[in-house]
Amino acid sequence: MIQTLKEDLKVVFERDPAVRSVFEILFCYPGFHALLFYRLAHGLWRRNFFFLGRLLSHMGRFFTGIEIHPGARIGRGFFIDHGMGVVIGETAEIGDNCTLYHGVTLGGTSWAKEKRHPTLGDNVVIGSGAKVLGPFRVGDNSKVGSNSVVVKEVPDNSTVVGVPGRMVLAAGQKVDSARADLEHGELPDPVAKAVSCLFDQIRTLEGKLQDLTEEQVRLRKQLADAEQAKENA
């Protein structure tokens, strides 16, 4: 338990440049507090103390604004930055070295008592406000952009943005397994790219129209010159 606590503290130091001391983490980091509540509640849940597990989970939600169901499975090196509004469902599974930002939901799309929440691979980063909904897998080393809504499988080494989520990078370079890639603010924008392509096509059409207009003016001038020469003759 002490070793796990040390690992959780180390993760905060690695992924948040604002942290200054261990005491600051212990007293001022809701993501760290929520993880402590979760570990205790999950231990009770695994021992079939379901009510106590849910009660402790609810207390964690009250104090931190982060809701993690005690039945969820979370790997090592997990980090929640800021954290307010994060929701992690009962059958969610989270791999090692994953990072979630505030407002993230790992939610379900079914009322059946079955696997209904997503599974995150290792080294996954979910941007603020993103919703990952359904019993599918988000592959290793993948990123989900802020405010995206993901409702289907995401392959390894991919980047997903938009509503609904669209894959804009696939089979990209792998993230260093010892350190999470937190550059989720520098993701491609497929809508902006599509608009840019439309502007390129408009400029091309405008150029062709200009050429046709100039050709028409030239032909009219030649016709007028020919008629003038005929009259003079």
CATH number for the domain including 40?
A: 2.160.10.10
One domain for residues 73 and 124: yes
Q: Which amino acid is at 49?
A: F
pLDDT value, residue 225: 80
Q: How far apart are CA 24 and CA 9, in angstroms?
A: 10
Q: How far apart are CA 52 and CA 61, in angstroms?
A: 14
One domain for residues 136 and 204: no
One domain for residues 157 and 227: no
One domain for residues 14 and 72: yes
Q: How far apart are CA 230 and CA 213, in angstroms?
A: 26
Number of structural domains found in the chain? 2
Which one has a higher pLDDT value, 87 or 172? 87
One domain for residues 51 and 102: yes
For residue 164, cis peptide bond before it (omega within 30 degrees of 0): yes
For residue 145, give the nearest of 160, 124, 134 by alpha carbon: 160
pLDDT value, residue 169: 66
One domain for residues 64 and 137: yes
pLDDT value at 173 more than 80: no
Domain enclosing residue 221, as ranges: 189-233
**Mean pLDDT score across all residues of the chain:** 87
pTM, full prediction? 0.73
pLDDT value, residue 179: 52
Residues in CB range of 180: below 8 A, 6 or more apart? 15, 77, 79, 97, 98, 99, 123, 125
Residue 166 pLDDT class (50, 70, 90 cuts): confident
One domain for residues 198 and 113: no
pLDDT value at 57 more than 70: yes
One domain for residues 196 and 181: no
